[in-house]
Structure 1
């Protein structure tokens, strides 16, 4: 938020990124450098925490400071998926500062959970899923959305092997990109006549061109 904003005068605060902190630099270039370093060091698995909302080009997070943060996050995810390193990509819902381990966790794909009332998750639960992902083969080569039911509903998740088994296989999502002209294109809609494998290859080519 830019300095000098006075909420008593009404209006909306103007958000901006400090130099060196733009999403392209942090969420794309920075993560790419980390992935390259991990690969060079022989790391056996990378757990990457992202964010739900990446299928919607008009998501409010993209408009903050004109940073298109979710687009750059997805580009880094694709780079990781192409790296050859076993990965687990966790796209968390709205993060909450609440106690972990007391809710039923939910996995989904392509922001389906954003269309429900179960769109949030405790930070502690995200951290636990990251740790558990290192222990189960079922978590490798997976990319999934993560949220939870409200406390007091459902059964608190304890069987993480079962949770990872439910998560979508491989890196497959409804890709939304931004062209150089600033126009948004839903590649999924343009590719609906292609096979799944053809869609994946086309998605990779487009992301690599950004």
Structure 2
């Protein structure tokens, strides 16, 4: 992998690439909540998708059955399968995570070694873009999620592998993930800040939550929006904030508009 310097996010005047020009998008972790939402939204926009899952029969119930969506068996821990899956694709969205936190080696295998494999395969395949869904707290060793075998420590190492791939990247660190209609569903619009807006101790702002569908929309927008070029962003919903499109969220990020401070 060839290391590439982190670029500054371009301003609002930069020209956005049409989504159709990206080509086929490979979604890793398509059987999960964020991954399946990404596949659904891409399919709704007519983008050809390869939805990569570890169990095809189980995942088909979650994924849209429509033209342009191909469900394929694969695993980020299997570098050979990634080489085949990414061949001829334009971009990859990584929404993977350990299948069980009972396995002490899961975070290392999936969040670190898996993303090392993704970075190498994406570079070798000549992809235009990698979007990785990580987590708020990835640089906070004291974050409670690290009680689960250092999961965020390994996510951060996986982020570094993606950053060093030589492929244009966006790393999205969402807050707590929820679904529409749940009791924990957040209210308000999505806001985003740069790395460590929320996730470092002592935290600048409290962590929050965000819908999986909102994270999916950000991931798709990041495929073509120049404001998302080679950046890490952290995103939550903020009560009282107006609803924004994913494009507007990224424009505000590029303009340096920091999220409002919530209650401590």
Q: Which residue of 2 aligns with 1:25?
A: 109
Native 8 Å contact 1:54 1:74 kept in 2: yes
Match of 2:139 in 1: 55
Deviation at 1:53, TM superposition (A): 1.0
2:243 alignment partner, one of 156, 161, 165:
156
Query: Aligned partners of 1:43, 1:106: CA distance in 2, in Å?
Result: 28
Say yes or no: does 1:96 pair with 2:178.
yes
Unaligned runs of 5+ in 1: 1-14, 170-210
What is the RMSD of the two structures over their aligned residues, measured on CA atoms? Answer: 2.7
- C-alpha separation in 2, matches of 1:124 and 1:16: 23
Residue aligning to 1:165: 251
- Match of 2:46? none
The equivalent residue for 1:70 is 152
Matched residue pairs, number?
149
Whether contact under 8 Å (2:139, 2:156) holds in the other structure is: no
Report the TM-score when normalising by structure 2: 0.51
Rg larger in structure: 1
Q: TM-score, normalised by structure 1?
A: 0.63
Structure 1 residue 167 displacement after superposition: 3.0
1:135 alignment partner in structure 2: 224
Aligned to 2:260: none
In structure 1, distance between residues paired with 2:111 and 2:162: 12
Q: Which has the higher contact order (CA 8 A, sep 6+)?
A: 2
How much does 1:89 deviate?
A: 0.4
1:150-204 Cα distance to aligned partner (Å, 9 max, x none)? 3xx221112x3442233379xxxxxxxxxxxxxxxxxxxxxxxxxxxxxxxxxxx
In structure 2, the partner of 1:119 is 208
Q: How many angstroms does 1:113 deviate by? A: 3.3
The separation in 1 between residues aligned to 2:217 and 2:157, in whole angstroms, is 25
* 1:41 equivalenced with 2:41 (yes/no): no
Q: Which runs of 4+ in 1 moved over 4 A?
A: none
Matched with 1:105 is: 190
